[in-house]
Amino acid sequence: MDDARARRGGWSWWYLLFVVQTVAVIWVPFFNRVEPTFIGIPFFYWYQLLGVLIGAVCTAIVYFATDHLFDSK
Amino acid sequence: MQGVNWVALIVFGALFCFITWMGFAAAHWRKGDLDQLHEWGLGGRRFGTVITWFLVGGDLYTAYTFIAVPALAFGAGAIAFFAVPYTVIIYPILFLVFPRLWYVCNKHGYITAADFVLGRFGNRWLALAVTITGLVATMPYIALQLVGIQVVIGALGISGTGFVADLPLIIAFIILAAFTYSSGLRAPASIAIVKDLLIYITAFAAVIVIPIQLGGFAKIFAAVPPAKLLLAAPGPLTTGSYGAYATLALGSALALFLYPHSLTGILSASSGHAIRRNAALLPGYSFMLGLLALIGFFAIAAGVGNLPEYAAGFKQFGNNFAVPALLLHSFPSWFVGIAFAAIGIGALVPAAIMSIAAANLYTRNIHREFINKNPTDKQEAQMAKLVSLVVKLGALAFILFVPTQYAIQLQLLGGIWIIQTLPAVMLGAYTRWFNDWALLVGWAVGTFAGTAMAVAVNLTPTYPLSLAGYTFPGYTAFYTVILNLMLAVVLTPIFNAMSSRRTLVDKTVAADYHA
């Protein structure tokens, strides 16, 4: 049922990971600070760069988890 | 300004010659009949995952990005980093919406967003609104790419007065125009590979070498004034810079794929699968963009803003000169040549795609829809080639004769305008629920309100929205697309009830949206 809907481009629960990665980088009060620094880089900067990596991992997970639902080319 | 940097200029020139050759040779790559619009303007929809990665990456991360994001960090500090959450958010959007659009466009032979809107909603005025918005938003964007080239040419030490001063830019423009005309989308697709390689080399060299020269990241960030290091914490009764930061990221991300050049890049992929795969692979560029934003802080720490040899450059180009100055300051001349070529070529790739996208729009959605309804394939492709020339000439004239500040302001307005096509294009990919006239009213009000709000804050990106005693400074594009959407939702049932038309006009069916 879930599979069939996702195949038509509908909902898959894996897409919740997208919400996680989005909220992680736009909830500014959480990361607008200097400490803890990483190799001299303030938290504000290294955290968001880490957010890029987390986003990449999330997107990759969603891709592999939903791939079988789409075309097999 | 300092004299001509010959070593850098020769390296720069050699790389430019190489990509010029590549651009023309590209006509024979995955050969197709370039007298057909989808061959010239979409590369025959034959690009697989890897080429799409280079093409879309080359398309989205433009020379202006490389210049302007660090320049903003250099001038304004932390707020510039909104570019990072922005690039995190764009890929879920790409993943969720654009495979569907790819399938439906492939099935029906659509090559522009307006083609899709016309097929989906059957309203030529709504399609015209999408077309005109796309054209108007793209033009200043092309002009800004030329600004990117202008800055590096200036930094190479080439200066002069009148026509001589503009000659290098005109030459770069002629190269761009000629290979786009002859090879279509295949030219930027092949050049994008070289461009990305050069950009990656430059970015990594800069991020490794310069911090070592400056004594480490701790020293670099210690040199950044405290007010620029973090966002200012909001006072009472306002979301302050936090809301501005988040809405800038969200709004820019939502607007990105609505730009005609983004869609051109996406539709040239060979399958919806290639697009989903790219959504997972493209964050490779995001990381680089984050690193590049840091370069603005390197420029602060290196103190290039106060060095006499760069004073003339800063005077001419403002903070946009920060990156070129830092590169000149930190690297030997031969590497400066490579880095500047990366920026220059990084301008040609998106400029080519943008002009192709604009040409596709005009040819398909204005000329064919309103002027010559039954063109032959050859006439259509010929018209697109000509329009791509006109569009670029317009951009060149704009840069040569109008102050750069206007191009930047128009590009800002362009973002506010293009996001107004979101309900019709992105939501249209999912649902035919909306009434077409309701969408048109939403678009018109969003465009008008967005323009008025931007003018009210002197063409700066954020507007201080006041509600019930609270102030929410935020990206105007983000606020106005919500207004647009609310109107479309409220008006849809009303317009449907008033309409005598009982059946929906929709040339697409649910099965067209997936494999």
Min distance A34 CA to chain B CA atoms (Å): 8
Q: Convert the pLDDT of each residue in B175-201 to its tens digit.
A: 888 888 888 888 888 888 888 888 889
pTM of the model: 0.91
Mean pLDDT, range B121-146, rounded to an integer: 91
CA distance linking residue B194 with residue B15, whole number of Å: 9
pLDDT at residue A72 is higher than 50: no
Q: Do residues B103 and B515 make contact, with C-beta atoms less than 8 angstroms apart?
A: yes
How far, CA to CA in Å, does B193 sit from each of A40, B50, B54, B56, B472?
A: 34, 10, 6, 11, 42
CB contact under 8 A, A40 and B216: yes
pLDDT for position B38: 86
Q: Is B326 on the interface with A (CB under 8 A)?
A: no
CB atoms near residue B160 (< 10 Å): 10
Ordered alpha helix ranges (H), B362-504? 377-401, 404-418, 422, 436-456, 476-498
Q: Convert the pLDDT of each residue in B46-70 to its tens digit.
A: 888 888 888 888 887 887 778 888 9
pLDDT at residue B273 is higher than 90: no
CB contact under 8 A, B286 and A63: no
pLDDT at residue B433 is higher than 60: yes
Of A34, A41, A63, the CB nearest to B230: A34
pLDDT for position B414: 92
Q: Is B278 on the interface with A (CB under 8 A)?
A: no
Question: What is the Cα Rg of chain B in Å?
Answer: 23
pLDDT at residue B27 is higher than 50: yes
Report residue B130's pLDDT band, with 50, 70 and 90 as the boundaries.
very high
Kindly list the residues from chain A whose CB atom is less than 8 angstroms away from the CB atom of residue B80: none
How much is the mean pLDDT over chain B?
88
pLDDT for position B403: 80
Question: What is the Cα Rg of chain A in Å?
Answer: 16
Q: Convert the pLDDT of each residue in B223-266 to its tens digit.
A: 999 888 898 888 888 888 899 999 999 999 999 999 999 999 89
Q: Is B276 on the interface with A (CB under 8 A)?
A: yes
pLDDT for position B476: 94
Select the more confidently predicted residue: B337 or B157: B337
CB contact under 8 A, B96 and A18: yes
Q: Note the Cα B13 to chain centre separation in Å.
A: 25
Report residue A8's pLDDT band, with 50, 70 and 90 as the boundaries.
low
CA distance linking residue B179 with residue B345, whole number of Å: 13
Mean pLDDT, range B348-359, rounded to an integer: 91
CB atoms near residue B262 (< 10 Å): 24
Q: Convert the pLDDT of each residue in B355-377 to its tens digit.
A: 999 999 999 999 988 888 888 88
What does the block give as tokens for B274? 């290639």
Amino acid at site B369? E
pLDDT at residue A9 is higher than 80: no
Closest CA to B364 of B168, B124, B144: B124
pLDDT for position B1: 47
How far, CA to CA in Å, does B87 sit from each of B60, B153, B243?
A: 10, 28, 17
Report residue A10's pLDDT band, with 50, 70 and 90 as the boundaries.
low
